[in-house]
Each structure stands twice: as structure tokens, then as C-alpha cells.
């Protein structure tokens, strides 16, 4: 994520990143965690986190994986710096009160709806970005107003679908692990509504492919 690139006035620069199997699955059946990134890709992810002002995930990822979203500064290859803001999308107030993302080791913001805000654990900082659901444009504008210039989106499948289909992103990197998961219950990279026809496709331009450890990384732009 190039630090010299200036973001637009109404949103941050948005970099979407994920790791999938060769058949495009994010996890095992019913969302059970699959460790798809090798050490080289983990180093890359922590470099991306270190270069970001904020990291965005969905509450489903919190419930399934309980990530901390902290930066491993040694893996990032740089001295410790200011941790990025951790942002959780949670329209219905489902965030577990014991989630590691609430450990106060880094600032955390929950993006929610007017109807979901009162269901969240007490003391959680929130931004309301819709009445019943989260309006992505409204959220991105709120993050930009907070000074977030570089936003990293890590998933899960519904968050990736929302950002990619909205076309409110600047770069997509996908690490492909040399494994096949298969089946009908393993979550795909992009979930949500079905695509009815070619007019609803999210068109991408391939910028490059690079081998990384046992797998490879593909980079796309809209």
C-alpha cells in the first residue's frame, strides 16, 4: 500500500486482501478455520497491516476465528509503531463481549446500525452507519473523517462481497494456497446474493502474479 498515494476526499484508499484454497474457499466446512497462509504470506500480511491506518473485518470472522488483528512488527520487518484501528462490521450487535479484538491492545471501532447499537457490549466505541444495515459509503466516509487514509479489508466472505461488489476498493490481493478444500459447506471467497448475469459482474484487471512460498499471490485492480 503505497504511502505516497493520496486518498479521495470521501473514503480511504481500500486494499482488499485474503487467502484462499485453489478452489476459492476461505475456510473448511461451516466456516471452520483453515490456516491457508504460509510463513511468507503471513509476513506479507503483517507488512500490509503495518502500512494501514485501519483494518476491517466482519463480526462473523470475530465469532469464528477470534482474531486480534494486531501487527507483528518483527514479521513486518520494522520497529513497533502506532497500531492500526480495528474496525468490525456488526449491524445486529452480535459482537461477543470476550472477543480478543476488545482487549484494548489497539483502538477498536464497531460499525453498526441504529437498531444494533444497543445490543453491543458496554463501553465499545461505535459508529452508526445505517438504520437496519450498514451503508458502506457512509462508513467509509466516517473513517475518512477520522483520518483513516489507508484501509485494509481482511474479510470474511460477506464483507469481501460487499466491498468488491460496491467497487469501493483500489486493489485486491489474493494468496492461493496449493490445496483443494471442495464440498458445498466451505465458504467461498465471495458470499451474498447470486449474480444474475454478466451485467452484474465485478470486472477486474490482473496486475501481476508472484510465487510466494508454496503458493502464489495474484494482484488485481478494478
CATH of the domain at 174: 3.40.430.10
Q: How many domains does the chain have?
A: 1
pTM of model > 0.75 = yes
The reply to whether 174 falls in a domain is yes
The reply to whether 56 falls in a domain is yes
What is d(CA 153, CA 140) in angstroms, rounded to the nearest whole number? Answer: 12
The reply to whether 179 falls in a domain is yes
The reply to whether 6 falls in a domain is no
The reply to whether 2 falls in a domain is no
- 167-216: per-residue pLDDT in tens? 999 999 999 999 999 999 999 999 988 888 998 899 999 999 999 999 99
* Structural domain containing residue 120: 13-221
Q: Supply the pLDDT for residue 4.
A: 47
Amino acid at each position: 500500500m503505497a504511502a505516497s498515494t493520496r486518498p479521495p476526499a470521501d473514503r480511504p484508499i481500500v486494499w482488499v486482501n485474503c487467502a484462499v484454497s485453489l478452489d476459492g474457499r476461505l475456510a473448511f466446512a461451516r466456516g471452520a478455520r483453515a490456516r491457508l497462509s504460509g510463513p511468507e504470506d503471513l509476513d506479507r500480511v503483517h507488512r500490509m497491516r503495518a502500512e494501514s491506518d485501519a483494518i476491517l473485518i466482519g463480526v462473523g470472522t470475530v465469532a469464528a476465528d477470534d482474531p486480534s488483528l494486531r501487527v507483528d512488527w518483527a514479521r513486518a520487518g520494522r520497529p513497533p509503531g502506532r497500531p492500526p484501528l480495528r474496525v468490525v462490521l456488526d449491524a445486529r450487535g452480535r459482537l461477543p463481549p470476550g472477543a480478543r479484538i476488545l482487549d484494548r491492545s489497539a483502538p477498536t471501532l464497531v460499525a453498526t446500525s441504529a437498531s444494533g447499537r444497543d445490543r453491543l457490549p458496554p463501553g465499545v466505541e461505535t459508529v452508526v452507519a445505517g438504520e437496519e444495515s450498514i451503508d458502506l459509503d457512509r462508513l467509509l466516509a466516517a473513517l475518512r473523517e477520522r483520518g483513516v487514509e489507508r484501509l485494509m479489508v481482511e474479510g470474511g466472505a460477506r464483507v469481501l462481497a460487499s466491498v468488491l461488489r460496491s467497487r469501493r476498493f483500489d486493489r485486491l490481493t489474493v494468496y492461493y494456497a496449493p490445496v483443494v478444500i471442495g464440498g458445498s459447506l466451505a465458504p467461498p471467497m465471495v458470499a451474498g446474493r447470486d449474480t444474475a448475469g454478466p451485467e452484474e459482474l465485478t470486472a477486474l484487471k490482473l496486475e501481476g502474479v508472484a510465487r510466494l512460498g508454496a503458493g502464489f499471490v495474484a494482484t488485481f485492480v478494478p
